[in-house]
């Protein structure tokens, strides 16, 4: 066992999690990354996706996050997320519908407003996929 470090997960509405964890795997802007006890100081922007937290007992906790920021230093970490959903929070049918809508928007015609729409649709697609992964346990 590598040991634990303290993690706090906060959204604008509430504190979602606070406690010791063994590992965190998060969706960074360039790629996913993991953090263990003793990690070098880091600040990272996060994109919508799957967050995997392994608590002090090694139990995996999966959450869909809507993007945000992560900071770790001296075995203290904080995840400031735009939104966080656990499997209990997710309506699978609604997430599937959101995924379908986002895919449809991404295949739309290019025009002046297309880039903004594409960025929003891409973020919506990532959030929907993360929700479905959390809900299905994959």
CATH number where 15 lies: 2.60.15.10
CA dihedral angle for residue 93, residue 97, residue 103, residue 109, rounded to 10 degrees: 180
Residue ranges making up the domain that contains 120: 91-136
Contact 51, 27 (CB under 8 A): yes
Res 97: pLDDT: 77
Res 32: pLDDT: 93
Res 106: pLDDT: 67
The span from the CA of 37 to the CA of 13, in Å, is: 28
Q: What tens digit of pLDDT does each residue of 78-108 get?
A: 999 999 988 777 767 777 777 777 777 667 6
Asked if residue 10 and residue 38 are part of one domain, the reply reads: yes
Residue scoring higher pLDDT (129 or 91): 129
- Report the Cα–Cα distance between both ends of the chain, in Å, rounded: 24
The token duo for 115 is 């880039």
Asked if residue 14 and residue 66 are part of one domain, the reply reads: yes
Residue 130: give its domain's CATH number: 1.20.5
Q: What tens digit of pLDDT does each residue of 11-50 get?
A: 999 999 999 999 999 999 989 999 999 999 999 999 999 9
The span from the CA of 61 to the CA of 39, in Å, is: 20
Asked if residue 102 and residue 72 are part of one domain, the reply reads: no
Asked if residue 76 and residue 9 are part of one domain, the reply reads: yes
Asked if residue 118 and residue 55 are part of one domain, the reply reads: no
Asked if residue 128 and residue 103 are part of one domain, the reply reads: yes
Report helix, strand and coil shares of the chain as percent, to nearest 5. Answer: 30, 45, 25
Listed residue (84, 67, 99, 71) closest to 11, CA to CA: 84
Asked if residue 74 and residue 42 are part of one domain, the reply reads: yes
Instruction: Confirm whether pTM is higher than 0.95.
Output: no
Domains in the chain, number: 2
The span from the CA of 92 to the CA of 87, in Å, is: 9
Asked if residue 81 and residue 64 are part of one domain, the reply reads: yes
Residue scoring higher pLDDT (117 or 80): 80
State the pLDDT confidence band at 115, using cuts at 50, 70 and 90: low
Res 1: pLDDT: 46
Contact 61, 73 (CB under 8 A): no
49-69 mean pLDDT: 93
State the pLDDT confidence band at 126, using cuts at 50, 70 and 90: confident
């Amino acid at each position: 066992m590598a040991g634990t470090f303290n993690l706090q997960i906060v959204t604008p509405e509430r504190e979602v999690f606070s406690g010791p964890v063994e590992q965190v795997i998060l969706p960074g802007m360039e790629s996913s990354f993991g953090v263990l006890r003793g990690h070098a100081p880091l600040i990272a922007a996060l994109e919508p996706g799957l967050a995997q937290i392994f608590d002090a007992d090694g139990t995996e906790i999966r959450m869909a996050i809507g993007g945000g920021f992560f900071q770790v230093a001296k075995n203290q970490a904080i995840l400031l997320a735009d939104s966080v959903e656990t499997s209990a929070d997710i309506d699978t049918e609604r997430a599937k519908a959101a995924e379908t809508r986002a895919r449809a928007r991404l295949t739309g015609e290019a025009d002046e407003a297309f880039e903004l729409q594409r960025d929003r649709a891409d973020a919506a697609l990532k959030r929907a996929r993360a929700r479905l992964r959390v809900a299905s346990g994959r």
